Amino acid sequence: MTQPLVSWDDYRTVLAVSSARSLAGAAELLAVNQSTVFRRLGAMEERLGARLFERSRTGYSLTAAGEGMVKLAERMSEDIIEFERRLTGQDLRPQGEVRVTTNDTLVVHLLTPIFASFRKAYPEITLDVVVGNQSLNLSKRDADVAIRATADPPETLVGRRLAEIPWAIYAADSMGLAELDPVDYRSHAWIGLGDNLAALKPSRWLVQHVGEDRIGWRINTVLGLAEAVAEGAGIGLLPCFIARTFPNLVPLSGPIAEIPGSLWILTHPDLRSTARVRVFMDHVGSEVARRRSQIEGVAQG
């Protein structure tokens, strides 16, 4: 049988150089040294009899031949990832690794004891928890499971709503406020969420009802927002179950109906039957159900 001129490793090399536009960057992506990338690329171009990249001071840019190879490599990569998802979905044994993405607020105030109890129940399953507000791509296996507070989960994922998350206005008791009339919103300094969370309903509500000019402090996590409000630097919108963990915070409103929020656990359709993913999602679901009254409780002082 005739050997192909290029292997999958060759395609991966071209993808890496195209993405990084340098040999050093490609070497880092491939976890090899720079001389290895240089040698692979040279040998590949010699076998093909065509240049794949033009070298210049600004980096490596694709030739027409290189562009064709990259397009093919991208399609192959997508096919391989899809095959891995389907193969993983056939695994019937509850063991291996589950990679979970969530945010710092949920880790600190809800999920850590749930993760700990899961590890005790399933010691053969390891957890890799990725904390951040950015959305990882479950289709490309950046994570297996996402636990997110959202009103609009992606349609490409499957899962279930675990609880509602009401939001209300809070202030530190040192500010001497007991309630807040909407006509007084602009009379106070507010603390809001950063630009990375500007699309969230609480951020949009604040701009609409208070105005950008009254937001004197922004911070890019809900956990940081709660800490700032508790310091008395201004008033802010917070999830009620987070605010109740701060004994000096006083609710200035009831739950705000225009800010619906829900806690979701989500995965890719190809992974939902995987044993380790299934038992993890079931465990988190049952443990959150036990805490649902705590999460969904209204803003009472």
Q: Name the band, by pLDDT with cuts 50, 70 and 90, for residue 16.
A: confident
Structure confidence at residue 228 (pLDDT): 95
257 burial type by CB count under 10 A (0-12 exposed, 13-18 middle, 19+ buried)? exposed
> Helix, strand, or coil here: 161?
strand
Task: Measure the CA angle with vertex 230, ends 229 and 232; round to 5°.
Answer: 70
CA–CA dist 26, 15 (Å, integer) = 8
Structure confidence at residue 155 (pLDDT): 82
Q: CA nearest 73: which of 7, 9, 6, 15?
A: 15
CA–CA dist 139, 146 (Å, integer) = 12
Question: Checking phi first, is residue 298 left (phi over 0); if not, alpha (psi -120 to 50) or beta?
Answer: beta
Q: Kindly tell me if the per-residue pLDDT of 261 is higher than 80.
A: yes
pLDDT, one tens digit per residue, over 60-116 is 888 988 888 888 888 877 777 666 666 655 555 578 899 999 988 899 999 999 999
Q: Kindly tell me if the per-residue pLDDT of 295 is higher than 60.
A: yes
Percent with pLDDT over 70 in the chain: 89
CA–CA dist 27, 201 (Å, integer) = 42
Tell whether the torsion through CA atoms of 49, 55, 59 and 62 is positive or negative: negative
Q: Do 179 and 195 form a contact (C-beta atoms < 8 A)?
A: no
Which helix (H) or strand (E) covers residue 113, if one does?
A: helix 112-121
Task: Measure the CA angle with vertex 97, ends 148 and 123; round to 5°.
Answer: 105
- Which range among 38-52, 72-86, 227-241, 252-266 shows the weakest confidence by mean pLDDT? 72-86
What are the residues facing 55 on neighbouring strands?
60
In Å, the largest CA–CA distance within the chain is: 83
Percent with pLDDT over 90 in the chain: 39
pLDDT, one tens digit per residue, over 129-168 is 988 766 545 544 568 899 998 888 888 888 999 999 999 9
